[in-house]
Amino acid sequence: MSAQQTVGVVRVLAVDDDSDSRALVATILTGAGFDHRSAATGEAALEILAEGLPDVLIVDVNMPGLSGLDVCRRAKELGELRVLIVSGESGRDDLAAGYAAGADDYLTKPFRPHELVARVRGLLGATEGGRS
């Protein structure tokens, strides 16, 4: 089954402490047909992840308390899921830190709606055949 065929059942958790960013991402993901949940803190994200893993985790790096990198590391320890880091930081060290934390992709802010959707779909394509 292709990523296009599974879009209606794809679960995405987006984590960002900025309410405007969360609302934008929710609008984009819902409009693309994804089953979307959001969290305002890393701690809240881990509580949601404990209930069951989404197919894709989208996480902002710079959050108070538990950072997006910490959420990424802990999420990867829980099981198989794809992680997209979304951040305003785009330096080489930032990208390297994201990938070292276990991110599968990295998208810098600001981004275009179609770019976010394409990245999520790309991550789903990367899981084809690898997910039971």
Q: What does the pLDDT profile of the chain (132 residues) look like in tens digits?
A: 334 444 447 999 999 999 999 999 999 999 999 999 999 999 999 999 999 999 999 999 999 899 999 999 999 999 999 999 998 887 788 889 999 999 999 999 999 999 999 999 999 985 444 433
Q: Are 55 and 127 in contact (CB under 8 A)?
A: yes
Which domain covers residue 31, as residue numbers? 9-127
- CATH code of the domain in which 80 resides: 3.40.50.2300
Residue 122 lies in a domain: yes
User: Within a domain: residue 98?
Assistant: yes
- Write down the pTM of the prediction: 0.86
Count of domains forming the chain: 1
Task: Indicate whether 87 belongs to any domain.
Answer: yes
In a domain, 1, yes or no: no
- Whether residue 132 is contained in a domain is answered as no
Asked if the structure places residue 3 within a domain, the reply is no
Other C-beta atoms lying within 10 Å of the C-beta of residue 116: 20
3-class secondary structure per residue, 67-109: CHHHHHHHHHHHCCCEEEEEECCCCHHHHHHHHHCCCCEEEEC
Residue 18 belongs to a domain: yes
| Angle of CA points 43, 71, 84, to nearest 5° | 130
Starting at the earlier edge strand, list the strands of the sheet with 11-15. Answer: 35-39, 11-15, 56-60, 82-87, 105-108
